[in-house]
Every structure is written in structure tokens, then in C-alpha cells.
Amino acid sequence: MRNFVQDLSSYAKAVDPEFIIIPQNGQELITLNGDNKGTADITYLSCIDGQGREDLFYGYDDDNQATHL
């Protein structure tokens, strides 16, 4: 998936340098091992412009429940 996002970013930004890439719910791709304390994948991070996460504060673990951070 990381390679797909990087390839998509390279292609899109070659066509339109202002094109932005914001993955949704792909936070595991930010680090090399997928762990939130792992080493950041700088190559991947340089290809994206932001990060979206569905249900960040409410409903991620269970419907109608606050998300435990």
C-alpha cells in the first residue's frame, strides 16, 4: 500500500504539482514497522500532504462510544 500511495503521489504531482495526497485510516504506513513508536518512513511522509482518520474522537472502537486514545 505504501508503494501504491508513493507511486500515485509521484504521478499526480508530475501532472499537477498542487495535487494533494491525504490517505484515510493509513496511520500504520507512517512508520516502517506499523507501530506508533516505530521509526518514521521519511520517503512515505514526503509523498503525502496530510493524514485523515475516521472516527478519531468518537466511534472508532465501538458505535456511539468515545474513542480511547
Measure CA 17 to chain center.
19
Q: Does residue 33 fall inside a structural domain?
A: yes
Is residue 34 included in any domain, yes or no? yes
Determine, yes or no, domain membership for 60.
no
All three cell numbers of 26, joined, read 493509513
> Between 42 and 59, where is the model more confident?
42
Higher pLDDT, 64 or 37: 37
Q: pLDDT band for position 46 (50/70/90)?
A: very high
Domain assignment of residue 68, yes or no: no
Nearest by Cα to 3 from 11, 50, 25? 11
pTM summary value:
0.80
In a domain, 37, yes or no: yes
- Residue 32 belongs to what domain range? 2-47
Burial letters 42-59, b for 16+ CB under 10 A, else e? eebeebbeeeeeeeeeee
Instruction: Encode pLDDT of 1-44 as tens digits.
Output: 999 999 999 999 999 999 999 999 999 999 999 998 999 999 99
Domain count, the chain: 1
- Given pLDDT bands bounded at 50, 70 and 90, which one contains residue 68? confident
- Domain assignment present for residue 21? The answer is yes
What 3-state DSSP class applies to 32?
A: coil
